[in-house]
């Protein structure tokens, strides 16, 4: 699914009104009616206090439509107009009059702190103050109102975007921003819903298709792409019946050191779970018994050194090399890594200590095979590209890095991002139970396993990240978050493939 900017969404509104011959008021009615439908479906006529805070622009107009429809269906609704300016949008004024006609009451006006209503924890709050039109932080009594809503501990639903949150920049650390429990956003998600610094404000996000112009949406170049089941499924390549293991590639996993053999065991098993036809492992001698005992499906080759990698030489011709997990950063290992880079033509997957060796020995970056996949967590990324001011600055630095070295970068997190030059893909599977030791090693093995099967490296990264998260979601259903181990994620990869291809029940 495409993620668009506020400017692109405004253009989509204008084109929709022109092509359909409808007014902005009619489009607002269509969008806000969907918000009402979602609230009504969940509350089912519950006897609850609903307090709707409306700004004086178009987001406030959305809130007034919702208020009118809720009142019409018998809900107990209180409407507050947040009077932060003397200007009102035309659609706000139209729906202000419509609400008065329906309810026979005037919305209460808030223009100072003394006007704040009492909000109880059991109330249902609808935030329709700013939406995506905010261009400066809330200040004074307005900022205090947003904090007042947050401090009430009432359930808060944001219309399109939590008030105080910008669509295209990070608010100041002390800025007042609504912390919504649930956000109903129009047509496309906003990128700030998935950035580490801002995702906590939106709560659970649901996207409402308000019917904006399909031609525009199809052709517009997105800010980023959100990867869900539909998008991942389109990347999957079904197998032919008449095949053998050689058709699905050979993955060589290189890494490990004394006390850190488990990491390459996880990666190797995961490469096979992802469908690699063959998997070989190159490790120090100390890993031989562990690997042969725990993964009989893999072939094991050992370094001449007992405890670390010193000379990575084999007669193998793998389709992909997955390097770095548990490898350490000794001088001998760095030298061995350099020699491996110099002798490798195919795209590699590099993780963990491989990334740390790159950041500490920048000359190695120039040796990376084109389209190699790097899979850092945030601290490893910082060592690679340096510090950043905020998440938007971080994304720009990653763009520059991937362009310069012609690589693909997978930034692991609650929503894992995949970067390739100007293209950004945001994963929408996974859960907090995956925050466990070895989860990244499993991800590296999955991506490498897909690469070995001739998936393009970028496709392997996007699909691998989604399947990793989907497998984690399947684990969470069985085990809960706290009890999950990274090995569980690897073991549920078969269920993840089946779930990917399973049609959802309808009706």
**Residue positions in the annotated binding site?**
58-62, 127, 131-137, 160, 163, 326, 377, 412-416, 440-441
Phi-psi region of 341 (alpha: psi -120 to 50; beta: other; left: phi over 0): alpha
CB 279 within 8 A of CB 299: yes
Would you state the structure tokens that stand for residue 452, as one six-digit string?
A: 């070995």
- Residue 477's CB is within 10 A of a number of other CB atoms, namely 11
Would you state the structure tokens that stand for residue 404, as one six-digit string?
A: 């310069």
Mapped onto helix, strand or coil, the DSSP state of residue 39 is helix
- Residue 211's CB is within 10 A of a number of other CB atoms, namely 14
User: In terms of Cα–Cα distance, which of 200, 274, 247 is closest to 470?
Assistant: 274
The CA-based dihedral angle spanning residues 51, 57, 61, 64, taken in that order and rounded to the nearest 10 degrees: 30
d(Cα 27, Cα 22) in Å, to the nearest integer? 7
Q: What is the DSSP string of 153-198?
A: T-EEEEESS-TT--SSSPPPTT------SEEEEESS--GGGTSTTT
CA angle 343, 253, 291 (to 5 degrees): 140
CB 402 within 8 A of CB 421: yes
d(Cα 125, Cα 187) in Å, to the nearest integer? 22
User: In terms of Cα–Cα distance, which of 29, 25, 24 is closest to 10?
Assistant: 24
Annotated binding site for (6S)-NADPHX: 58-62, 131-137, 160, 326, 377, 441
Alpha carbon separation from 179 to 318, 431, 440, 451 (Å, rounded)? 49, 20, 30, 40
Annotated binding site for AMP: 412-416, 440
Helix or strand (DSSP H, E) at 424: strand 423-427
């Amino acid at each position: 699914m495409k993620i668009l900017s506020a400017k692109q969404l405004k253009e989509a509104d204008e084109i929709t009104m022109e092509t359909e011959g409808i007014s902005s008021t009619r489009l607002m009615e269509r969008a806000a009616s969907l918000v009402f439908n979602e609230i009504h479906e969940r509350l089912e006529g519950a006897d609850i206090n609903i307090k709707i805070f409306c700004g004086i622009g178009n987001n406030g107009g959305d809130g007034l439509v919702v208020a009118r429809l809720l009142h019409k269906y018998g809900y107990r609704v209180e409407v507050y107009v947040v009077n932060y300016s003397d200007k009102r949008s035309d659609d706000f004024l139209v729906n202000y009059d419509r609400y008065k006609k329906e309810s026979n009451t005037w919305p209460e006006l808030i223009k100072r702190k003394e006007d704040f209503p009492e909000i109880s924890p059991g109330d249902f709050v609808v935030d329709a103050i700013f939406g995506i039109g905010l261009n400066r932080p809330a200040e004074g009594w307005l900022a205090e109102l947003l904090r007042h809503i947050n401090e009430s501990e009432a359930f808060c639903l944001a219309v399109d975007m939590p008030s105080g949150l910008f669509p295209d920049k990070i608010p100041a650390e002390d800025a007042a921003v609504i912390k919504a429990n649930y956000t109903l956003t129009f047509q496309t998600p906003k990128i700030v819903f998935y950035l580490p610094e801002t995702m906590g404000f939106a709560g659970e996000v649901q996207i409402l298709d308000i019917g904006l112009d399909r031609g525009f949406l199809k052709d517009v170049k997105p800010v980023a792409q959100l990867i869900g089941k539909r998008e991942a499924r389109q990347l999957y390549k079904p197998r032919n019946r008449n095949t053998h293991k050689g058709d699905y590639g050979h993955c060589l996993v290189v890494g490990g050191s004394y006390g850190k053999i488990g990491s390459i065991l996880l990666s190797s098993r995961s490469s096979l779970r992802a469908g690699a036809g063959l998997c070989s492992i190159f490790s120090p001698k100390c890993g031989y018994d562990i690997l042969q005992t725990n993964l009989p499906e893999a072939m094991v080759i050992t370094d001449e050194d007992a405890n670390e990698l010193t000379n990575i030489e084999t007669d193998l011709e793998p389709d992909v090399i997955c390097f770095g997990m548990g490898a350490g950063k000794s001088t001998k290992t760095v030298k061995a890594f350099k020699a491996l880079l110099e002798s490798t033509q195919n795209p590699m997957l590099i993780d963990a200590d491989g990334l740390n060796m790159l950041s500490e020995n920048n000359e190695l970056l120039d040796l990376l095979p084109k389209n190699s996949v790097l899979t850092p967590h945030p601290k490893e990324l910082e060592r690679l590209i340096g510090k950043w001011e905020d998440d938007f600055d971080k994304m720009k630095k990653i763009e520059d890095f991937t362009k310069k070295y012609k690589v693909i970068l997978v930034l692991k997190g609650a929503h894992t991002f995949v970067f390739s030059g100007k293209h950004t893909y945001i994963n929408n599977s996974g859960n907090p139970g995956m925050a466990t030791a070895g989860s990244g090693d499993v991800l590296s093995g999955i991506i490498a396993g897909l690469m070995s099967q001739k998936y393009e490296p970028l496709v392997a990264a996007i699909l691998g990240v989604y399947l990793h998260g989907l497998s984690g979601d399947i684990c969470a259903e069985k085990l809960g978050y706290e009890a999950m181990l990274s090995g569980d994620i690897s073991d549920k990869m078969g269920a993840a493939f089946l779930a990917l291809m399973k049609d959802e029940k309808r009706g």
